[in-house]
Structure 1
Amino acid sequence: MIFMNFSNFIPEHMERRGKIVLEENLRIIERVLEQRSVPEEGIKEELIELLLTKLSLMDTDKDPRAIRIGEREARVWSKLQERSVFYFNHGVGRSGNLIDPQPKAPGASIMYKLTNQLLTSFLKKLGLKVKAFATPVATGLSLSLCLSALRRKYGIREVIYPFAGHKSPIKAISLAGLRMRLVETKIFGDTVKAPVEDIEKAIKKDRCAVLSTLTFFPPREEDLVEIAKLCEEEGVPHIVNGAYAIQNNFYLDKLKKALKYRVDAIVSSTDKNLFTPIGGGIIYSKDEKFLKEISLSYPGRASANPIVNTLISLLAIGFKRYKELMKEQKESKELLDKLLTELAEEKNEKLLEVKNPIASAITTKKDPIELAGKLYNLRVTGPRGVRKDDKFGTSYLGVYKYNYIVINASIGVRRDDIYKVVEKLREVI
């Protein structure tokens, strides 16, 4: 990487031995830069820190001889602030394009490009033949970037939205300056779905797009592959909200099938899938040109922080460990279903029969909102109580059959927590 002269400090044989260790460690970083693929084995944090430090030292605000007279020169008051963005003070992107190199930030530009290449390789290893880039905003705003790109490219005016009970996509549609046409859901057994034939009726071939959803709270499901087929047949653009789709093969398999038809872009969250702090997204697509169009939707530069967090996760976890985490998540969900089934039989309740690889739902004769509150006071975070007449919360524009509590078993959950949450639920249900 950078030559350093250690001559005549210590005996030559010791110097040689030390260089072997140094070169071996530096080689790990060099391999990442050469291969530009997510590593199989996770990398030690001190080496990730070394890589990020070296890249940040390339930015012009680190030049000790620079004459900085612009209005935006990365003048940062506190070292705490600098550390919060890993010294990438200039951020990423340019005013015209989020993923364009930034002249004042060569190091940050390399860091961002590397992150996107690692993301693409990561998704490819998971079986998705797509290109990807990390966004400095979470799922809702990332969806808005995609919809804004569709508006420019195709002149769309309206978004067909099969109702999903998620507020951020609705706000994303509004932020993109588009009208929303809601497709109401219906009950099929325990499942709530928006019928594909109703989506077809809502489609106007001229200037509309579909925003579908892949990942839900129970009892909602969606026929993603059928929607992708419909969009291809009708020539209608199609964006998929796959907030936590990457962590489970059930969702990945649906994406693979849908990508054979019309899917313009998919959005996922970094915090839900890659263990980052909240604030980052992933946008991926078969169409690299459309990804470029999406990047043009972002106004101005962006903070490097969410991008750095994505890169750190990819390097620190490694692909092999991520696959193990996916396996553990599947096992945790199976354990959750087993324990909730036993609890349902014990309390004369029911585990809802819904195809969801992340979350489960159990009925309750008590007020589910009060139960969720009691669980919160018992230091349980995450359960979601939904009343059957809550039109938004049930993802059904009417009255559902049951009150219920949703429990998640997403990636990273501990088996011990699965046992504990069911025990706490047993106390209050």
Structure 2
Amino acid sequence: MNSEIFSLSERLVSSSYVRQGLQARRGHEQLIRLLLQQGKCPEEGWSESTIELFLNELAVMDSNNFLGNCGVGEREGRVASALVARRHYRLIHGIGRSGDIAAVQPKAAGSSLLNKITNSVVLDVLKFTGVRSVSSCFVVPMATGMSLTLCFLTLRHRRPGARYILWPRIDQKSCFKSMLTAGFEPVVIENVLEGDELRTNLEEVQRKIEELGAQNILCVHSTTSCFAPRVPDRLEELAVLCASMIFPI
């Protein structure tokens, strides 16, 4: 609803009440305006009503939701189930174009805008967490294994002679499969028991680097998410070690 519609509403409802509604609406719009203007993660989380308002506004920008539209093209967004459509806020068409996932889709301006703002917000979060050197990113719907595989394949371009990945052991199959799928040989580093916790064996990591040669190691594949008695890896110590050997963690 825009200002003109609110003005017309005053013919039916008291103008003072309509103005209250207009002010409430502008409160939501101000949050959306700041998000689009700054492209940064809001300092305070949005209410569900603001999120739903934004998503519904974006959805009506996609061609599959145009009034009177009949999508018959080979790449038109269509959905048979109203339940599925509601679950996805009718953002049906998708993003990207001609093999470029970052490209704007002409038939889905709303979905493309959501994609762009999502990437911008995630980039802001990455920088906030300390990754200052990152200049761009994009969000794709992939789980642990495939995401790690793509990371390893990207690192291969930086270290084409590397064969091994040092892996402080964590009993999670996707982590292990991702290294094999990318064509590398995992070198399992058994953890050490400290009290009632399993911790990173830094001495063994150092020994394997010396044994295999730093030039033959792609990276150290570490983790911060695990189940007891395993605890998060000693990331700071591993980072210092990797930096001294000039390969990634």
With the length of structure 1 as denominator, give the TM-score of the two structures.
0.48
Distance 1:47 1:190, change over 3 A: closer
Instruction: Say whether the 8 Å CA contact 2:166–2:217 is kept in structure 1.
Output: no
Partner SS, residue 199 of structure 1: helix
Instruction: Say whether the 8 Å CA contact 1:123–1:130 is kept in structure 2.
Output: no
Q: 1:218 aligns with which of 228, 232, 239?
A: 228
Show the 5 A alignment for 1:82-161. 82-94=85-97, 96-122=99-125, 124=127, 129=132, 131=134, 133-155=138-160, 156-161=162-167
Equivalent-residue separation in structure 1 for 2:195 and 2:25 (angstroms): 62
**2:180 matched residue in structure 1:** 174
Q: What stretches of structure 1 of length at least 5 have no aligned partner? A: 239-429
Q: 2:216 aligns with which of 197, 201, 206?
A: 206
Q: Give deviations 1:387-416, integer Å, cap 9, x for gaps.
A: xxxxxxxxxxxxxxxxxxxxxxxxxxxxxx
Equivalent-residue separation in structure 1 for 2:2 and 2:133 (angstroms): 34
Identity of aligned residues (%): 34
Equivalent-residue separation in structure 2 for 1:49 and 1:172 (angstroms): 36
Instruction: Say whether the 8 Å CA contact 1:135–1:142 is kept in structure 2.
Output: no
Q: Which amino acid aligns with 1:214?
A: T
**1:40 matched residue in structure 2:** 43
Alpha-carbon shift at residue 111 of structure 1 (Å)? 1.0
Instruction: Say whether the 8 Å CA contact 2:94–2:111 is kept in structure 1.
Output: yes
Equivalent-residue separation in structure 1 for 2:36 and 2:131 (angstroms): 22
**1:237 matched residue in structure 2:** 248
Partner SS, residue 212 of structure 1: coil
Q: Which amino acid aligns with 1:30?
A: R
Equivalent-residue separation in structure 2 for 1:187 and 1:7 (angstroms): 71
Alpha-carbon shift at residue 135 of structure 1 (Å)? 3.5
Q: Give deviations 1:11-53, integer Å, cap 9, x for gaps.
A: 4844545433332332232233223333333322122111011
Equivalent-residue separation in structure 1 for 2:98 and 2:234 (angstroms): 38
* Greater fraction strand: 1
Show the 5 A alignment for 1:376-387. none
Equivalent-residue separation in structure 2 for 1:194 and 1:19 (angstroms): 57
Q: 1:196 aligns with which of 182, 193, 202?
A: 202
Equivalent-residue separation in structure 2 for 1:130 and 1:85 (angstroms): 34
**1:259 matched residue in structure 2:** none
Partner SS, residue 208 of structure 1: strand
Show the 5 A alignment for 1:8-407. 8-11=8-11, 13-14=15-16, 15-64=18-67, 68=71, 70-94=73-97, 96-122=99-125, 124=127, 129=132, 131=134, 133-155=138-160, 156-203=162-209, 204=213, 205-206=215-216, 208-221=218-231, 222-238=233-249
- The one of the two structures with greater contact order (alpha-carbon pairs below 8 A, sep at least 6) is 1
- Equivalent residues, number: 238
Distance 1:93 1:231, change over 3 A: farther
Distance 1:197 1:101, change over 3 A: farther
Instruction: Say whether the 8 Å CA contact 1:159–1:210 is kept in structure 2.
Output: yes
**1:264 matched residue in structure 2:** none
Alpha-carbon shift at residue 75 of structure 1 (Å)? 1.8
Equivalent-residue separation in structure 1 for 2:131 and 2:246 (angstroms): 23
Equivalent-residue separation in structure 1 for 2:97 and 2:192 (angstroms): 45
Q: What stretches of structure 2 of length at least 5 have no aligned partner? A: none
Distance 1:100 1:130, change over 3 A: farther
With the length of structure 2 as denominator, give the TM-score of the two structures.
0.77
Distance 1:175 1:35, change over 3 A: same
Alpha-carbon shift at residue 179 of structure 1 (Å)? 2.4
